[in-house]
Homo-oligomer: A and B are copies of this chain.
Amino acid sequence: MSKRIGKQSFILPSKPRIVSSASFVGSKEGEGPLGNRFDTVLKDDTLGLDSWEEAETRMLESAVRLALFKLDCDPGGIDFFMGGDLLSQIIASGFAARELMSPFLGVYGACSTMAEGIIIASMLTDGGFSRLAVCGASSHFSSSEREFRYPLEMGTQSPPTAQRTVTGAGAVAIAGTEYNGKTLFNNIAVTGGTIGKVCDYGITDASNMGAAMAPAAASTICACLNDLNTDPSYFDMIFTGDLGSFGSELLYDLCMSKGYDIKERHDDCGKMIFSENQKVICGGSGCGCCATVLSAEILRKVESGELNRILFAATGALLSPLSSLQGESIPAISHAAVIERIGV
């Protein structure tokens, strides 16, 4: 039986459950509006290790372990860890997987990685290929700046469209119908999703990710609404990650041009994680942004019944330092997961 709906979407009849989550963030994220929601706020964003890359790896590994610890479980008890991050060759995830010693599937969707992982893992769970799996994603302000922009030591000033890469790692545990162990969340299921297409509107400014990614978010959100033959009111909220304030405005216009008014039901993880007085210009970004906001805030609201059905539409910019130097524009992608509160 096909579980495909329309051109890009799918349903998950067995309703894989999100049974746990965990989040680690840096000190600046800890000072933001969601500061007291995160499991751990780091005082030292190197964790006392030799490099920011090692620190990012350790955060991701720790988030996975903590999500499982909340289930009285450890990495030996899962069917796979599905992870990705922004570093070249996703080394934070690969090195974290080395320590976790679970079967590992590496994914890359830039800042959409958490959503990509969740939809693939949920499909594999629904298909009978996983009893318990963990999806994780991470980013680190300092490792990311030197990967994509300038060495921090240069003290380069950010332009008005810039977003700040979140230092953080989030992880969620996804369980199939066979899982009967302990749960942190009892009422959350992934019930469907939409696989994104790459969109490129010709933006070449690596400090204007919101503009590069807004078309991809609009494409996926509209594809989802179209495939499900519904309208934005079907969802209590549509969360994007990480368009920031500038990209969010573009998103409203793009969706409106396709006949969908989402403004009243939309929030962006990049806007939620920092407050305006934190001087982060357009908000947060990075794989760790929507991964931690989902893990710490959005899932809590679904579990409690504050939200009953949401669309988690993470967005990623598929550039590399080399593609920017070669003058390429910035393609972007957005994957979306439908997350619902299920009957208690």
| A interface with B by C-beta (< 8 Å) | 1-4, 7-8, 10, 50-51, 53-54, 79-80, 84, 86-91, 94-95, 97-98, 101-110, 116, 120, 123-124, 126-131, 176, 178, 195-200, 318-323, 326, 328, 331, 333
Contact = CB atoms under 8 A, between A and B. Distances in A.
Contacts of A50: 326
A98 B332 CA distance: 9
Contacts of A131: 2, 4
A115 B90 CA distance: 18
Contacts of A88: 88-89, 320-322
A89 B318 contact: yes
A3 B128 contact: yes
A105 B195 contact: yes
Contacts of A321: 88
B127 A108 contact: no
B128 A198 contact: no
A104 B322 contact: no
25 contacts: A1-B128, A2-B131, A3-B127, A3-B128, A87-B320, A88-B89, A88-B320, A89-B108, A89-B323, A91-B318, A91-B319, A91-B322, A94-B198, A95-B318, A97-B331, A98-B200, A101-B198, A103-B195, A105-B107, A105-B109, A105-B116, A105-B195, A123-B129, A124-B127, A126-B127
Top 10 nearest A-B pairs (CB, nearest first) are A127-B127, A94-B318, A88-B88, A103-B195, A89-B320, A106-B108, A98-B198, A3-B128, A98-B331, A88-B320
A4 B106 contact: no
A90 B102 contact: no
A1 B131 CA distance: 10
Contacts of A333: 94, 97, 104, 106
Contacts of A130: 4
Contacts of A127: 3, 123-124, 126-129
A207 to B, nearest CB: 17
A196 B130 CA distance: 14
Nearest to A108: B106
Q: How many copies does the complex hold?
A: 2
A277 to B, nearest CB: 33
A204 to B, nearest CB: 14
B195 A80 contact: yes
A116 B331 CA distance: 24
A1 B129 CA distance: 9
A95 B101 CA distance: 32
Contact of A103 (B94, B110, B197): B197
A95 B4 contact: no
A145 to B, nearest CB: 13
B95 A328 contact: yes
A106 B109 contact: yes
Contact of A8 (B103, B195, B323): B103
A55 to B, nearest CB: 12
Given A51-B326, A80-B195, A128-B2, A105 B120 contact: yes
Most buried by B among A105, A109, A331: A105
Contacts of A120: 105, 120, 124
